[in-house]
Amino acid sequence: EPTERGGYLFGRGVSDNKGNLLARLQAIEAYRATIGELPLRIRVLYEGEEESGSAHLAAFVARHGERLRADGCVWEAGYKDAAGRATISCGLKGIAYVDLQVRGAKKDAHSSLATIVPNPAWRLVWALATLKNAADEITIDGFMDLVRPPTAAERAVLEDLAFDEQGMLRIHGITRFVRDLHGYELKKKHFLEPTCTICGIVSGYTGAGSKTVLPAVASAKIDFRLVPDLTPDKVVSLLRAHLDRRGFDDVEVVPGHGESPSRWPIDSVAATAAVAACRSAYGSAPVVYPLLAGSGPMAQVCDTLNIPVAGFGSGNAASANHAPNENIAISDYVDHIRAFGRFLHAFSGRVLD
C-alpha cells in the first residue's frame, strides 16, 4: 500500500508510472469541471507489459491503428531534474536484454578439481571483460559503428541544455561521473550514446561462510540501452559474432525483451505545447531533453503511427524508480495535473493565461 510521509507518497510504481497516468485522468476531470468540455479528442492507451517488453502491443497497434491515430502523444514518463526544474523529453532509448549462460561440469564439484575441470564462472568473467574496456567504452565488434552521430542541431541543443551535475552526484552518492566527464561530453554520453550494463551475475555459492565449490553454471543478465541506428536484433547478432570470434562459442546468448529507440523533434507540435504548458504551470521554462535515457515501447506505437511525442510528468530526480522507497512529491503530482490541463488547452490552439 502507498505511504504518505513528509509531503511525499511512497509506493511501488508511484513514479514509474502510476502517478503520471492517474494525474492525467484527474486533469481531464478537473478541466471539464472548471472550464467545460474538452477542446480536443483524447485517446488513452494503457498497457501492463512495458517492464517485460510489451510483447502484445505491436499486434494491438496493427489491429487497432486507426483508432489510435493522433496528432500528438504525451508519453507516460516525466520528471523534474536534480535542480527541481520541469523536464520534457522527446524520445526514448531502446533496449536489448540478454542472458549470458555458461555450463561446465554436469553438477557442482569440489573446488580442488579446479586444476583440471573448467570453471564456467571464469569463462563468463573473461567473456564479459571483452564487452567493455577500462575507459567504459563498448568494444563489441561493429557496435559503435551503428551509433548515429549527433547533428549540428543536436550538438547545439546539448551545449545549451541545463544539466545539474552536482545535484546528480549528490543524489546518487558518488564523487564523479564515468571518465570524470563534465559539460557537453557528459550530456552527449548520457542522452545520445548506448550502454552495456551488467545487471546481475550468479554462480556457485554466495551465502554466509565458506563453501569450496567449483560451480557448474554461471549466468549474467545484461541490458543495452539503444540509440539510433541500433536495434535489439542487431545487438544480439553483433554480440554472438563478437563472442564467437574470441573463442567463447560456449557462452550461450539468450535474448530477452527488446525495444527500438525513438527520437522526435524538440520543436514538434507536442513538444511546443508541452513547453508552453509547463512554463505556465511552473512559472519557469522547462528543460527540453532530446530523449529520456530510459526505454519503453514508444517506437511500437508512435513510430508506427507517426505520432510526435513529448513526455513530462510528476516524478523527481530522486524518485528511485525500480528501487526501494520509490516516491513522488504530492506537490509535484498536483502540479502535473495543472500542467497536463494546460497542455490540453495549448495543444488545441488556445492561449494560456
Instruction: Convert the pLDDT of each residue in 191-208 to its tens digit.
Output: 999 999 999 999 999 999
Q: 3-state DSSP helix/strand/coil percent for the chain, to nearest 5? A: 40, 20, 40
Q: Average pLDDT, whole number, for the chain?
A: 95
> Confidence band (pLDDT; 50, 70, 90) for 352?
confident
Q: Delimit the domains of the chain by residue range.
A: 3-90+264-347, 94-147+193-259, 153-189
- Is beta strand 87-89 parallel, antiparallel or unpaired with respect to 292-295? unpaired
Give yes or no for a contact between 249 and 103, defined as CB atoms under 8 angstroms apart: no
For the beta carbon of residue 87, count every other beta carbon within 10 angstroms.
21
Tens-place pLDDT, residues 149-160: 988 888 998 999
Packed helices 183-192 and 152-160: angle between N→C axes, nearest 10 degrees: 120
For the beta carbon of residue 128, count every other beta carbon within 10 angstroms.
18
Phi and psi angles of residue 295, each rounded to the nearest 5 degrees, phi first: -135, 160
User: What confidence score (pLDDT) does residue 1 get?
Assistant: 84
DSSP state of 268: S
Quick check: 35 pLDDT over 80? yes
Quick check: 25 pLDDT over 90? yes
User: What confidence score (pLDDT) does residue 153 get?
Assistant: 85
User: What confidence score (pLDDT) does residue 32 get?
Assistant: 96
Tens-place pLDDT, residues 62-118: 999 999 999 999 998 899 998 999 999 999 999 999 999 999 999 999 999 999 999
Phi and psi angles of residue 262, each rounded to the nearest 5 degrees, phi first: -145, 130
User: What confidence score (pLDDT) does residue 63 get?
Assistant: 97
Give yes or no for a contact between 8 and 326, defined as CB atoms under 8 angstroms apart: no
126's grid cell: 573473461
Give yes or no for a contact between 286 and 278, defined as CB atoms under 8 angstroms apart: yes
Nearest by Cα to 296 from 6, 7, 20: 20
User: What confidence score (pLDDT) does residue 52 get?
Assistant: 83
- Supply the DSSP string of 118-186, one letter for each residue: --HHHHHHHHHTTTB-TTS-B-STTTGGGSPPPPHHHHHHHHH----HHHHHHHHT-SS-GGG--HHHH
**pTM of this prediction exceeds 0.75:** yes
Rounded Cα distance between 150 and 290, Å, is 11
The fold of 3-90+264-347 is: Aminopeptidase (3.40.630)
Select the more confidently predicted residue: 310 or 76.
310
Mean pLDDT in residue range 233-241: 98
Domain 94-147+193-259: give its CATH code.
Answer: 3.30.70.360
